Structures are given as structure tokens and as C-alpha cells.
Homo-oligomer: A and B are copies of this chain.
Amino acid sequence: MPQGRRGAPRAVTIADVAREAGVSRATVSRAINDSDLVTAETKRTVQEAITRTGFVMNARGRALATGRAETVGVLITEPLDELFDDPTYGRVLRGVAEGLLGSGFLPVIIQASSESERALALRSFGRRSVDAVIHLTPYRGSDLLGSLAGAGLPVVLCGQLVDSPYEGIFSTVYSDDVRGARLAAQRVATAGRHQVAAVLGPADNPATGDRLRGYEEVLGARLDPARVVHTRWDSAGGLTTTARLLVAHPGIDAILAGSDRIALGALAALQAAGRRVPEDVAVVGFDDHAIAASASPPLTTIAQPLVEEGRIAAQLALEMINGADPRTEVLDMRLVPRLSA
């Protein structure tokens, strides 16, 4: 019964239910919230009145009374259409949804790519439209983080921030890039490779530095700084950069790529140069992107536990909503061995 889609004939409230059930509004409220101050008997009476009247709890009244909207905002600051070939966020989001399930809190995704959208989102946070914010794409530099801190509501960052300038203010969850990079480096080290190269992502990205550090820790002199280069995250960058690298350093026998897409480009460059993978040159990617498994040869790579990251972000958000102090969770990455190394 699509009752009154216009004119909204005045919604059913707990007062109506109370009248119908012959009890007070307080009792209805208690029954709804399953308080054990109410007889099972009374609860049933109320329940019947609810179905008879078609009562649905109004979230606004409840939010005002309880002080919580029972929603968690998931903030995405990158344009959605630019993320289309990056399943990362989808996975994290799935984790957030799972982590919130059963808590009574609903995740609402808030996209704020433009400056005006960001301002809108911030205003809405300040106004307490949501009880907490999970920020999927935190970046240093951005003044957004400062504004979020000023908004004075619980915030969880997905991703590591260099120097942790907001430690003690925001909760953080991230996968340890240094340790992930160590796994990649160990793979080529135990395979006896000695002339290792690194084709990293942009130098200003925090993950890049961490990954390089992990490589260096394990490989030492096997990773000559001359063979460490930076490029864009995509495969075109990996292709041209690797091609140049092979000319300058023909003896390279392993390539640690900053991302799977870069690795894909590297594979193409190696093939063009007539090198066999992994016989002549081993290649290790990063991310376990969908393209890694279907590359030829299938790409050995490092997987981040994205879904778990989201799940833990949700958990941290709920904790802070309940008054806990912010804290940081670091997750482990995992080597996914395939054929390329």
C-alpha cells in the first residue's frame, strides 16, 4: 500500500502506538529497544500495536534524543570515475560494511572530489550528520585533515600518513608497506638475483618511500641506487621507464615494481627487449590487482588485506564513537607467489 506519497498524512508515532496498546509512550520506547524493564507480555502487546498501526521509528527523533545518528560516513576524496580501474576502494568498502553489520550503524559513502563538495561534506560532519568518519584516501598536505580534526568527531584514516602528525587525534589502519616490500625483496634474494632494480611509483607518495626502504633493508648492495627509478602508477609509465632502465643497466636480473600496473608495463618492456621472465629477469609486482593473475607470466606480487582493513576501520570507528581513544592498527601484507619471480 503506497500510502500517501504526497501530503504525508502525518506519520505514526510512538504516541499512536501507546494509545493503541493502552500503555505509555515510555513503555513503547522501552519495548522497541528491548529493555528488560518490560514484561515479555507487554512487549508482545506493544509489538501487536506496532504492526496494527504500521509504526516505523523516525530516525530524526531518535537521533536528537540519543545524540547519535547511527551512521558512519565513508569519505572518498578522489573522483569516482577515475577510480574505475582500481578495485581497491570497493574492497575496503566491503570490509567497512561487514564491520558495521550488526552494530546498527549504517555506512554512508560521501564523495568529495571537488573543493565545493569537500566543503559541503565538512559542513555536514561539523553538524553531526554522521557519528564518525572513515577517510579512505587520506593525504598529507591536504588541509582537509586539519578541518576534519577541527570537526571534532571520531575519524579513522585508511592508510599511513608519514610522520603521523595526527597521532592521538585520528585512528589509523594500514598495511605495512615496509614489511610488504621486504617480502618482495626476499623473494628475489633467495632466488639468487644480484642485480636488482626498483621501478617505483611517484616519489611524493608515502607508500613509495616505505617500499623502497623495505627493498633496501633486505637487498643492501644488490639494489644499486642507480637502478632505482620513479614513474607513474600505470603500465605506460612502467613500460617506458623499464625500457630506459634496461638500456642503461643491461645486467639487471630482477625488477621490483611499485604496482602491478607498473609491473605489467615492465613485462612488456622485457618482452620487447627479448628477455625471458622469470628465467632472465624476475619481476615482482605490488597490490595483487586483478590484472596480476592474468598477466603472462602470472605476476608474483604482494597483497594487502583490503577487506580486513575496512573491517578494522569500522571497528575503530565504533570504538571511538563509544568514547575510546584513537589508536593505530597495522596489518600484514602477504606474498602471492606466481610465475614471474
Contact = CB atoms under 8 A, between A and B. Distances in A.
Contacts of A126: 56
Interface stretch (A148-156, A219-227, A331-339): A148-156
A116 interface: yes
A117 interface: yes
B84 A129 contact: no
Interface in A56-74: 56-64, 67, 69, 71
Given A127-B56, A149-B2, A106 B86 contact: no
Interface stretch (A3-11, A33-41, A183-191, A280-288): A3-11
Contacts of A127: 56-59, 62
Interface in A132-169: 149-150, 152, 154, 169
Interface residues of A, number: 61
A124 interface: yes
Nearest to A155: B5
Assembly stoichiometry (copies): 2
A219 B17 CA distance: 62
Contacts of A58: 127-128
A84 B289 CA distance: 12
Given A56-B126, A127-B56, A149-B2, A106 B121 contact: yes
B80 A150 contact: no
Residue in A60, A106, A124, A326 whose Cβ sees the most chain B Cβ within 10 Å: A60
A117 to B, nearest CB: 6
Given A59-B124, A64-B60, A2 B169 contact: yes
Contacts of A6: 323, 325
Residue in A79, A91, A117 whose Cβ sees the most chain B Cβ within 10 Å: A117
A197 to B, nearest CB: 29
Contacts of A154: 5
Interface in A263-298: 290
Contact of A2 (B107, B117, B150): B150
Interface string A98-109: 000100001111
A93 interface: yes
Interface string A1-38: 11111111001000000000000000000000000000
A83 to B, nearest CB: 5
A229 to B, nearest CB: 26
Contacts of A91: 81
Nearest to A166: B2
A274 B53 CA distance: 70
Interface of A: 1-8, 11, 56-64, 67, 69, 71, 79-87, 89-91, 93-94, 97, 101, 106-111, 116-117, 120-121, 124, 126-129, 149-150, 152, 154, 169, 290, 323, 325-326
The 8 lowest CB-CB distance pairs between A and B, nearest first, are A81-B90, A109-B109, A59-B127, A80-B90, A108-B108, A60-B63, A56-B126, A59-B129
